Copies of this chain bind each other. A is one copy, B any other.
Amino acid sequence: MRKVAIIGIGQTPVREHWDYPIRYLGVQALLAAMQDARVDTIGGLFVGNMLSGALSEQEHLGALIADYAGFSGIEAVKVEAACASGAAAMRMALMAVASGRMEVAAAIGVEKLTEYSGKFSTAALATAADADYEASIGLSFAAINALMMRRYMHEYKVNKEDFAIFPIIAHANAVHNPNAMFHHTINREDYARAKMIADPINLMDSSPIADGAAAVIIVPMDKIKKYAGKAVRVAACELATDTVGLDSREDALLLKGVQKSASKALKIAGIEAKQIQLMELHDAFSIMSVLSLENSGFCQPGRALFAANDGKYSIDGEMPVCTFGGLKGRGHPVGASGLYQIVEAVQQVRGDAPAPIQVEDVEWAMAQNIGGSGATVITTILNRINE
């Protein structure tokens, strides 16, 4: 199986980009990644996006962004897997290059959510849930995650306040990421008095919707010497699914998609969980951080909050998470988030992160992108290339 490497990364700041239509966000990230890779053409473009049809009245984003970037004619498609669309596009680009059908592929994730009323965005996002058994009875994603969080609190006898550590870490790291949406720290008092959204989920447990785009350039591993861009090896990028409806699972806290995706990725990379030095995890809600860590095998079920509060996941801890702010601090432009995570993990492996959030001597980094309440999961493992 032909291996691939990432030789270029690009991103727009995560903001409320009311001044840019979705096509320009995508173009900006793509051209930035191409400039970073120092390539002037690409063989194919895979665009991760969930809601361009609903919120920008624009489907057909593949051909559109290819054209506006100046590459009309190339292969280009849109890939959708709810909040996991970004990393799903990365997976398609990887297969395109690995299949020998092209030598240089770009994967971009792009989303524009904020120009619409919060109510409309929430309804559009609920199309990632089961329309017949969840969304139709009013279950938004905050509500679905509230059910999971409540169950977790019951099962493991933990308090709501114990979850504060995840948004605190996210905001602390986001301060140093110029592309992050938020540049202020928060503390336990801020968390305690945050507005309740869907009990027990409060505003600090919830990542903000946002606009943005991120991109990577992928080439075959055995061709990296041809390109000037700083290469990082993609040791694994594995996609697994689970039921879309939470009601269909045997246990609300058992994320089989996370388990399969993470264990397969680790196996293919040929490493153990403890070798991962940092993880860009999918903290759409703080309960998701907990379940992602536990189901990926980084700690025992019921232990993630204890480990987090002991400092394990802080920037100077044993395995930092959300080093650039995560979905909570950097922001969550839904179909783009998976590629932001990968771009950030590449920066860590290259040693290009801003000093306060650069993890030391990174050989192995993981990014995990989760769609819906765990129905699509892509775990990517990046590896430093030692000359």
Pick the contact of A21 from B88, B91, B132 — CB < 8 Å?
Answer: B132
Classify the secondary structure of A's interface with B.
Answer: mixed
Q: Taking the complex as formed, is A131 at the interface, i.e. its CB lies under 8 A from any CB of chain B?
A: yes
A241 to B73, CA, bound (A): 4
Query: Per-position contact with B for A91-134: 1 when CB-CB < 8 Å, else 0?
Result: 11011101111000000000000000000000010111111100
Q: Are B244 and A64 in contact (CB under 8 A)?
A: yes
Q: Are A240 and B80 in contact (CB under 8 A)?
A: no
Q: Taking the complex as formed, is A372 at the interface, i.e. its CB lies under 8 A from any CB of chain B?
A: yes
Pick the contact of A1 from B76, B99, B242 — CB < 8 Å?
Answer: B99
A53 to B80, CA, bound (A): 11
Pick the contact of A131 from B58, B92, B243 — CB < 8 Å?
Answer: B58
* Size band of the interface chain A makes with B: 35 or more
Query: Per-position contact with B for A241-273: 1 when CB-CB < 8 Å, else 0?
Result: 111100010000000110010000000000000
A76 to B99, CA, bound (A): 18
Q: Are B81 and A78 in contact (CB under 8 A)?
A: yes
Knowing A57-B127, A98-B100, A241-B67, say if A257 contacts B73 (CB, 8 Å).
yes
Knowing A53-B51, A73-B256, A73-B257, say if A63 contacts B376 (CB, 8 Å).
yes
Nearest CB on B from A57, distance (A): 5
Q: Taking the complex as formed, is A59 at the interface, i.e. its CB lies under 8 A from any CB of chain B?
A: yes
A256 to B99, CA, bound (A): 25
Q: Which A residues fall within an 8 A CB radius of B?
A: 1-2, 21, 50-51, 53-54, 56-64, 66-67, 72-82, 88, 91-92, 94-96, 98-101, 124, 126-132, 135, 239-244, 248, 256-257, 260, 371-372, 375-376
